[in-house]
Amino acid sequence: MDTGVIAVANQKGGVGKTTVAMNMAAGLIRRRGSCIVIDSDPQGSATLWTELSGDPSRFPVEVVLAEDKLNKQIARLQTEFDYIVIDCPPEIKSGSIMNVMSISQILLVPLLPSPMDLWASTRIEELIKRAKKKNPKILAYILLNQIEPRSAMSRGMDEALQEIDIPVLRNRLGRRASYRTSALEGCSVYDLGYRGRAASEEIDGVIDEVLGL
Ligand SMILES: Nc1ncnc2c1ncn2[C@@H]1O[C@H](COP(=O)(O)OP(=O)(O)OP(=O)(O)O)[C@@H](O)[C@H]1O
Ligand SMILES: [Mg+2]
């Protein structure tokens, strides 16, 4: 099988790109095969995440910095890993993001249930249009993050998103302390025992929906 290259991107900051990338990588390793994360964000959050962990037996996700010649780096990593997850910076202007799009099979765009994030979604359409121009075969999905079932805004998202011409994953991530704890402890929601159970089921759902059962 070809290595699955999954990019997690959104030009908006703080929507959960790094949280999704790191927890998906952990889930892929548990359930699908080997996986490595490429940190293409100069903020280096994914790199810091693994540094916090310091215990590969608890959190086996390896993170490498993106190299200038990303295509070559990916080609090299593809010989070693079944999956590559790319954590992108919060911008789309730079050529490096389009570079990422041209070599990814799947693009996940986390989106928060907030008016500001919805208003920015026209720019997500632009991101995806540009990605598809570079790479017509890329499969792009919106992943709703920090959903609160009891909030009207979260419920209203479905209606609002019908206006946008991008598929939205049926599986979504709730607003849960365990996602924050996973970053604080430098691990994944899978490593938090019962505290992370609901979140890890959500990540499993996303993996299965995106990659097929
Ligand atoms: N589902 C969730 N429930 C609760 N907190 C969350 C959830 N997803 C992300 N967070 C928290 O939201 C904050 C932003 O998440 P994260 O750093 O993953 O976003 P980002 O898109 O990578 O940000 P940046 O654009 O700066 O790279 C973090 O504190 C993270 O722990
Ligand atoms: Mg980030």
CA of 208 to the centre of ligand 1 (A): 22
Retrieve residue 71's tokens.
Answer: 């295509």
Q: Angle formed by the axes of helices 177-185 and 197-211, to 10°?
A: 90
Residue 1: what pLDDT?
46
The pLDDT tens digits along the chain (213 residues) read 466 999 999 989 999 999 999 999 999 999 999 999 999 999 999 999 999 887 888 899 999 999 989 999 999 999 999 999 999 999 866 667 788 888 999 999 999 998 888 878 778 888 888 889 989 999 999 999 999 988 887 777 878 888 888 899 999 999 999 999 999 999 999 999 999 999 999 999 999 999 998
Q: Please tell me the pTM assigned to this model.
A: 0.95
* Cα dihedral 157, 163, 169, 174 in deg (nearest 10): -10
Retrieve residue 200's tokens.
Answer: 């890890």
CA-CA distance, 52 to 164, in Å (whole number)? 38
Q: Which helix (H) or strand (E) holds 140?
A: strand 139-144
Residue 19 CB–ligand 1 contact under 6 Å: yes
Residue 2: what pLDDT?
61
Residue 180 CB–ligand 1 contact under 6 Å: yes
Residue 124: what pLDDT?
84
Using alpha carbons only, what angle is made at residue 15 by residues 170 and 209, rounded to the nearest 5 degrees? 25
Residue 149: what pLDDT?
84
Report domain extents, the chain. Answer: 4-204
CA-CA distance, 175 to 66, in Å (whole number)? 29
CA of 113 to the centre of ligand 1 (A): 13
CA of 12 to the centre of ligand 1 (A): 11
Nearest to 89 by CA among 41, 23, 143: 41
Nearest to 178 by CA among 64, 22, 10: 22
| 3-state secondary structure (DSSP) of residue 67 | coil
Residue 125: what pLDDT?
85
Q: What is the CATH number assigned to the segment(s) 4-204?
A: 3.40.50.300
Residue 19: what pLDDT?
98
Residue 15 CB–ligand 1 contact under 6 Å: yes
